[in-house]
Amino acid sequence: MSWLVTGGAGYIGAHVVRAFREQGIDTVVLDDLSSGRRTFVPEGVPFVRGTILDGALLEDAMHEHRVRGVVHLAGFKYAGVSVQKPLHTYEQNVTGTARLLGAMQARGVDRIVFSSSAAVYGTPDVHLVTEDTAKRPESPYGESKLIGEWLLADQARAADLRHTSLRYFNVVGSGTDEIYDPSPHNLFPLVFDALLDGRTPRINGDDYPTPDGTCVRDYIHVADLAAAHVAAAKRLDAGEPVEPVYNLGSGDGVSVGEIMREVANVTGIAFEPEIAARRGGDPARIVASGELAARDLDWRMRHSLAEMVATAWSARRAASA
């Protein structure tokens, strides 16, 4: 029997698949390749090309590959773009999740680990975000992730479903040079692309009430994130109790300025970032506690900031070689 990883050809999903394989757990990947890469899926892992909106395809894949659980990462990921594409975002992230849950019920698949997001919190007014911090999403993307959590909880009350949702913060780094972050919106790819193109990276605002004036965010390594998914799946397999949601945060943020300095140090490319105006809606600081995940999912920061930058840079250079 296997675990189905939706979105398993994406940057995060492909790391999750590899983490499952390292623990000897069979997986099958379903991905429409709208943002994923077929080359990110390891050789020997069954691959189904298609959308989570196709309930019949989902049911067939679950039946053919004897799926017992699902890691659900497929969806539309871009919070900023979701403001211009709310209907597309809701179709992919809400309707798609509902279709997936329906297929799971039809095939008797009773456990799921859901990819949620720090975007459910919006702009928090606390120094350290916990799972109980007020949810005030500020984009269709953040709203869709919160609705996804509600869908799981509602389905669990109506049917035999064991579930947990993992709220990601800023995912960076790479566990292998074979996988890099291709997002056109994330900080690390933007900085690396600028350096490779001979341009100077940019910081949006240096007058925030933070130690160096730049925004502070919670950066976590993608390999640590992937390991948490395996731990969650194992608890569900064993029938052990899990919380409905877990923050995967470091408890200690890093500023954009610190990121820039570490990038210059790791790459050997000296630069002084350009300073642009603040972007509207950017909070000064978002940092989360990972205490619950540390208790239940062996969550911890296994990688330093230097390792986050170095592994991401290595993978990005390998991709352009």
Active-site positions?
141
CA distance 224 to 245: 17
For 146, half-sphere exposure in the C-beta direction (CA atoms, 13 angstrom radius) is 17
Tokens describing residue 33: 């390749």
With a CB cutoff of 8 Å and minimum separation 6, the contacts of 239 are: 162
Task: Quote the DSSP letter at residue 166.
Answer: E
Tokens describing residue 115: 């990819």
With a CB cutoff of 8 Å and minimum separation 6, the contacts of 248 are: 166, 167, 168, 169, 220, 224, 225, 228, 288, 290, 293, 299
CA distance 121 to 288: 11
CA distance 203 to 191: 10
CA distance 89 to 82: 6
| Overall residue count recorded for the chain in this entry | 321
What amino acid is encoded at 316 in this protein?
Answer: R
**Are the C-beta atoms of residues 225 and 15 closer than 8 Å to each other?**
yes
- b/e per residue 291-312 (b: at least 16 CB within 10 A): bbbbebbebebebebeebbbbb
